[in-house]
Structure 1
Amino acid sequence: MSEKLTMAVIGFGKSATRYHLPYIMQRKNIQVKWIYAHHLNKRPETQKAYEQHGITFTDQIDTILTDPAVQLLTICLPPSLHFEFAKRGLTAGKNVLVEKPFTETVTEAKTLFELAATKHLLVMPYQNRRFDGEFLALKQVLQTGYLGEPLELESHFDHYRPDPQIKHGAAIDGTFYGLGSHLIDQVVALFGRPQQVSYDIRAQQNPVSTVDDYYDVDLFYDNFKAIVKSSFLVAQPYPRFILHGTQGSFVKYGIDQQENDLKAGITPAATDFGLDSPKFYGELTYQNANGDWINKQLRTPRGDYGRVYDGLYASIIQGKAPLVTREQALTDLEILTAGIKQASPSIYRLATQ
């Protein structure tokens, strides 16, 4: 029988109940012992459902930090609290997973990684979008080499949600940190550290707002460019991915279905959970070795955010390398912070590592 990983979830909001707990509960080798909720019994029925699985709720964080059985903390708190609670967890000798955005600054992130290293612990940002179905499809296209050498990738995460109200807050509360942290990480995971980045980040719906709701960011590599973009005023769906290469193109519409299924009350245990509709399968158009043009659909792999926890188990219990490396996490955050340090449009050149 495999060793169990015992953990606690810090926070009991949408992040915890939608993106973490439904997946953790499906894994027999991981046990949630505690859930920290700042306001106990705020959602009594939901809380009771988890208590029936043997999970104890508390509003005392020290109760969790001093429990020697707890090996892992998942931080699902507002972004401004990520650094504080992650540091407290590491200081108490716990491995830590932090919801995105990881921290507000590169300095904070480096502090966490250095503290983790001195204590021989793992700290990692929760980059669940590495297990979106459409991202797995894109990864498959690149690995099989259908399109030859990649030349340009366009990655969109758009909605139509008009909201002209004035929004005030810090950069970490904006769309660039909130959604851009995912799209940038996907590019860095596939292509590594870019050479330079250009930014257009702004409050599109109400320019008086101090919190951005739009970004158009280009990441430049040798003879390759990745464009990541989000807007809340896109009424006509745009492809999620457009990839052009020396031998063809790949176009994929539609965002991963896991979130929609969870909203509908479908759990990850369901046979068809997260499956993409065939009408949204990606389209490949490429020239084969004989010079013939091929056009075909590519079935979307099934996404599974729980694979982040499979990776954590492998790292913490079996000693394997972390899913998201220190270098990737710091590059992601360097790109994010550079974008909001000066007014857009702007350009930032990354130093080689």
Structure 2
Amino acid sequence: MTLTIGYIGFGKSTTRYHMPYTLIRDNIRVKTIYNHHRKPELEAEYAQHQIEFTDNLDVLLQDGEIQLVSICTPASTHYELAKKALQNGKNVLVEKPFCTTSEEAEELFELAKSKGLIATAYQNRRFDSDFLAVKEVLASGKIGDLVELESHMDYYRPEAPDSDGEYYDGAFYGLGVHMMDQIIDLFGRPEEVSYDIRSVRNPKNPDDTFEVQFFYPKHKVIVKTSHLVNIPYPKFILHGTKGSFVKYGIDQQETCLKAGVMPGDANFGIDPESHYGTLVYVNENNETVQETVPTPLGDYGRLYDQLHDAILNSTQKLVSDNETLTNMTILEQGFTGKNPRVISL
């Protein structure tokens, strides 16, 4: 069965992170793209795919063939657009952050439930190659019981243009939302969270630096981003009762997409061997073993595969409502008081 979808928004999110994956799938049809301003030159690049383009939102929302609306617009518009789509009988996939408040998210989930529809967050980084490597290491049990996990997404971007954006336009909502979803996927809701969220390069801008720590009964997780890191940290560091795992280098899909290398092309998303993770652990014979862990191949399109089955075959959706609401709560609480601080969840 084919899933027919429409996109709201025709910017970088749609053209770089969504359509390269949906256009190569035989069981997905991209029928219509709405943007408030038409982009004829960009539209011409997709002529071979027979996509309809419109600046009239009702054309998309009232099309009975479209089953899923993927919303790829600024965060401040997510709630209203998702609500309109649901009211018109469409399942919705919403770019990050899902909404700007937990209250908005709860309302959308209740509306979707009342209409027998799916509303879900675009957490494509559940299919990052580095995260898949972490899941493999944890599943192997070789490091024993986890004691600490550290996740980084750092850059060196010393120049910071003036920006008067809202709290949800900063790095915590933009990057932290993905990093925290990975942790929630692994371990669920933490008991306590500590925050240190700042704007380091330009105090007038939304945040560009954060360190958030999740406290679970037997382990701790550190999620950290800075735009002033010129010697890279490992992407992931894991320590357990029997061993440790260190992985340098972020998933290569985004790098390939920026370079014009598309899904299906040779070498798309392949991690260089120099970035393979290192696993050191004590085995059952009390011997210290060191292993190189090849990086699995990431594929953001798998999110659409899963959503296809959830809509057409009634399978469970990838990101549960509770997981999204946990994420939204942690994001919101980061801006409700003075930083740094610790709160209980």
SS in structure 2 of the partner of residue 317 of structure 1: helix
Distance 1:77 1:139 in 2: 31
AA aligned to 1:100 is K
Distance 2:210 2:86 in 1: 33
- TM-superposition CA deviations, 1:230-281 (whole Å, max 9, x none): 0000000110000000000000000100011111111101132100000000
The RMSD of aligned alpha carbons is 0.9
- Which residue matches 2:27? 29
> Following superposition of structure 1 onto structure 2, how do residues 60-209 of structure 1 map, counting pairs within 5 Å?
60-207=56-203, 209=204
TM-aligned CA deviation for residue 210 of structure 1: 4.5
Distance 1:119 1:143 in 2: 37
**Runs of 4+ deviating beyond 3 Å:** none
- Which residue matches 2:8? 10
Distance 2:12 2:96 in 1: 13
* Corresponding residue to 2:325 among 327, 330, 337: 330
Is the 8 Å Cα contact of residues 11 and 76 (structure 1) preserved in structure 2? Answer: yes
- Which residue matches 1:349? 344
- TM-superposition CA deviations, 1:40-83 (whole Å, max 9, x none): 125x1x31121321101001110110000000000000110000
Is the 8 Å Cα contact of residues 51 and 57 (structure 1) preserved in structure 2? Answer: no
TM-aligned CA deviation for residue 166 of structure 1: 3.8
> Following superposition of structure 1 onto structure 2, how do residues 311-322 of structure 1 map, counting pairs within 5 Å?
311-322=306-317
Distance 1:78 1:206 in 2: 22
- Which residue matches 2:286? 291
**Number of residues of Structure 1 aligned to a counterpart in Structure 2:** 345
- TM-superposition CA deviations, 1:140-189 (whole Å, max 9, x none): 00111110111100000000001244432211101000000001000000
Distance 2:5 2:97 in 1: 21
Distance 1:118 1:51 in 2: 38
- TM-superposition CA deviations, 1:76-109 (whole Å, max 9, x none): 0011000010000000000000000000000000
AA aligned to 2:38 is L
Distance 2:281 2:340 in 1: 35
Distance 2:118 2:160 in 1: 41
AA aligned to 1:305 is Y
Distance 2:256 2:162 in 1: 32
AA aligned to 2:263 is P
Distance 1:101 1:345 in 2: 22
Distance 1:38 1:186 in 2: 33
Gap runs ≥5 in structure 1: none
Distance change in 2, residues 1:164/1:312 (3 Å): closer
Aligned: 1:240 with 2:235: yes
Instruction: Report percent identity of matched pairs.
Output: 52
Distance 2:163 2:33 in 1: 31
Deviates more, 1:266-275 or 1:147-156: 266-275
AA aligned to 1:197 is V
SS in structure 1 of the partner of residue 49 of structure 2: coil
Aligned: 1:250 with 2:245: yes
Distance 1:99 1:274 in 2: 21
Distance 2:160 2:256 in 1: 29
Aligned: 1:260 with 2:258: no
SS in structure 1 of the partner of residue 130 of structure 2: helix
* Corresponding residue to 1:272 among 267, 286, 294: 267
Distance 1:305 1:341 in 2: 33
AA aligned to 1:147 is I
Distance 2:266 2:305 in 1: 19
Distance 2:153 2:187 in 1: 19
Distance 1:272 1:146 in 2: 30
Distance 2:317 2:168 in 1: 25
Is the 8 Å Cα contact of residues 194 and 221 (structure 1) preserved in structure 2? Answer: yes
TM-aligned CA deviation for residue 348 of structure 1: 1.5
SS in structure 2 of the partner of residue 32 of structure 1: strand
- TM-superposition CA deviations, 1:205-230 (whole Å, max 9, x none): 122x1511100000000120000000
AA aligned to 2:191 is Q
Distance 2:228 2:163 in 1: 16
